[in-house]
Amino acid sequence: MSSKYIQNCGCLFTCFFFPIYFKRCTTNIEEKNLTIISEFHLRGFSEDPDLQPTLFGLFLSMYLVTVLGNLLVILAVISDPHLHTPMYFFLSNLSLADICFISTTIPKMLTNIQTHSRVISYVGCLTQMSLFVIFACMDDLLLTVMAYDRFMAICHPLHYPVIMNLHLCGFLVLVSLLFSLFESQLHILIALEFTRFTEVEISNFFCDPIQVLSLSCYNNFSGNMIKYFLGAIYGFLPVLGILLSYYEIVSSILKIPSLSGKYKAFSACGSHLSVVCLFYGTGIGAYLGSAVSSSPKKDVVSSVIYSVVTPMLNPFIYSLRNKDIKNALRRLLSRTV
């Protein structure tokens, strides 16, 4: 294996959770080859002008479906008193984070298609990168909080209403937001140190933090320490929390004597487990593909699946697998009509 492959795989787990990826400066890159830039060029999906209207319509449709689907989930939770529970409180916050998540990338891409321009300013790129990190981390941390909620509901049902009260739920969402803002600010503070870059073209349709920061030559001990610290806080710990929660959940479900009881307990966390697998599965696929393959087009497609398709499918997973959500949506639509 090449050293580059080993380095990429070693940073894979860290990169997936959006910490900082530092590209090593090769010995043949001299200071004079680094340039001060004020804008970046984003990679598009196709150079063919005949395909631009099709791409515009496709991504506009996906964006509208995502926003509408997640808004319906939020409205259903707010309007139905039966859904005023911790589980659906976290779900509504996840839907809001998904709307913001996809809104950081798709509108700019649609504007670029319409204006036939792929240029994004340095400030605009840092802003997009910051917002992307915030809402990606919110998704990550909210899924972890929801796993804890399912653990309490299944493993400690008698204590669940007391422990998972409104104050704790609000506190957990607030902590998730603060941690996401903290990571975003770390990205920005380090990105602001970069005024010279090896290239101006980003091999993606948006300012992916990993690719933006990899364009600069930054490699020192403190930088690597920050990288692995962020990987542990925002990568290893959330995944560990989810795995431990589901380990206890599965253990408790197996102790239930009746088959119907096991099915009911599993169905209570089936939707969340599906979203977790979708979120982490597409994320790992996107960043594993970029670590193994050097094809820019494949990287763009993987990013679309992770950052566009995943938030679009989340409301459908919850609405199709959850009778409470479906009933709430029917009552909401009937009142509207």
What is 215-284 written as a DSSP string?
TS----HHHHHHHHHHHIIIIIHHHHHHHHHHHHHHHHHHT--SHHHHHHHHHHHHHHHHHHHHHHHHHH
290 CB-near residues (< 8 Å, 6+ apart): 8, 210, 299, 302
What pLDDT was estimated at residue 217? 55
Give the residue, 74 or 12, on which the prediction is more confident.
74
The least confident of 170-184, 226-240, 311-325 is 226-240
Q: For residue 13, tell me if it sits in a domain.
A: no
CA atoms within 13 Å, Cβ hemisphere of 237: 12
- Residue ranges making up the domain that contains 100: 46-336
Q: For residue 39, tell me if it sits in a domain.
A: no
Q: For residue 30, tell me if it sits in a domain.
A: no
Q: Do you know the residue count of the chain?
A: 337
> Does residue 28 have a pLDDT over 50?
no
Q: Give the count of beta carbons closer than 10 Å to the beta carbon of residue 325.
A: 22
Q: For residue 9, tell me if it sits in a domain.
A: no
**What digits encode the pLDDT tens for the residues 133-180?**
999 999 999 999 999 999 999 988 889 999 999 999 999 999 999 999
Q: How confident is the model at residue 264 (pLDDT cuts 50, 70, 90)?
A: confident
**What digits encode the pLDDT tens for the residues 48-57?**
778 888 989 9
Q: What pTM, to 2 d.p., does this model score?
A: 0.82
50 CB-near residues (< 8 Å, 6+ apart): none
What pLDDT was estimated at residue 295? 65
What pLDDT was estimated at residue 280? 85
Q: For residue 260, tell me if it sits in a domain.
A: yes
Q: For residue 26, tell me if it sits in a domain.
A: no
Q: Where are the beta strands (DSSP E) in 3-94?
A: 35-36, 39-42
Residue 136: CATH number of its domain? 1.20.1070.10
Angle between helices 296-304 and 259-292 (to 10 degrees): 150
Give the residue, 20 or 321, on which the prediction is more confident.
321
Total domains in the fold of the chain: 1
Look at the alpha carbons of 4, 132, 213, 13 in this order and tell me if their dihedral is positive or negative.
Answer: negative
Task: Report how far apart, in Å, the C-alpha atoms of 195 and of each of 37, 198, 213, 217 are.
Answer: 7, 10, 11, 10
Q: For residue 28, tell me if it sits in a domain.
A: no
Please give the structure tokens belonging to residue 198. 């090896």
What pLDDT was estimated at residue 98? 94
CA atoms within 13 Å, Cβ hemisphere of 106: 27
Q: For residue 2, tell me if it sits in a domain.
A: no
DSSP lists the bridge partners of residue 36 as: 196
SS3 content of the chain, % helix, strand, coil (to 5): 75, 5, 20
Give the residue, 109 or 228, on which the prediction is more confident.
109
